[in-house]
Amino acid sequence: MSTTKSVHRSLAILSLPRPVPALITTAQRVTTAMTGNTALPNPVPTLAEVAVAIGALQTAQSAALARTAGAVTARNDRRATLVGLLQELRGYVQKTADADPENSAAIIQSAGIAVKKTPVHKPRVFGATQGAVSGAVKLVTASAGNRASYDWESSIDSGKTWVQLPSTLQAKTSVIGLAAGTTVLFRYRSVTKAGVADWSQPVAMLVK
């Protein structure tokens, strides 16, 4: 019996708050976590650049609170600059994590950034699974592309003889009426405009 498993890619999620004080706190947390971090040795942009942007935003925020003329516009510009740098930093962390999938979540978290895991399904391979009722089996394989059809066969004598099953236009089919307790072999081949492919390696299924 063959099944399709899934792996997970850890994604660095940098949810930046809109209020300037909270943004500054977030930026400081990230830069502190990445300072001297051996898992992230060469940040892009540099932490020094981010620190300068944090300081510039702090100064601009103070001026805006003091209602200095033009300070709000300047503060917003400094905020946009810092946000851009933090997003670049998140990209660097993601790239580093992707290069080490087994430790990707730990690498992202070590940067003071949240992790989101998304399922990434491996390419579909030919496999058989138990159907919804006794004596039923579901077969599924990878698509051979547009305008392809699929021939299916089964064998109950270890591949000595094969019985043709109905062809399909989809890369899957269901077989019913099989004897419970019997081990059945299944195989398929695709038919495309390029011609008829060879029969696949058979997969075995103990029918329930």
Mean pLDDT within 55-62: 97
Let me know how long the chain is: 208
**Would you place residue 51 in the very low, low, confident or very high pLDDT band (cuts 50, 70, 90)?**
very high
pLDDT at 5 over 80: no
The stretch 42-51 carries a mean pLDDT of: 96
Residue 144, classified by CB atoms within 10 Å of its CB into exposed (0-12), middle (13-18) or buried (19+), is middle
Residues of the chain with pLDDT > 70: what percent?
93
- The tens digit of pLDDT for each residue in 89-129 reads 999 999 999 999 889 999 999 999 999 876 655 667 899 99
Residue range 52-57: average pLDDT?
97
Average confidence (pLDDT) over 80-97: 96
pLDDT score of 116: 87
Backbone angles phi, psi at 171, to 5 degrees: -85, 40
| Between 4 and 134, the higher pLDDT residue | 134
Residue 99 is classified by DSSP as T
Residue 54 has pLDDT above 50, yes or no: yes
DSSP3 helix / strand / coil % (the chain, rounded to 5) = 35, 25, 40
Domains of the chain by start residue, with CATH:
9-120 (no CATH), 127-206 (2.60.40.10)
pLDDT at 6: 47
Whole-model pTM: value is 0.55
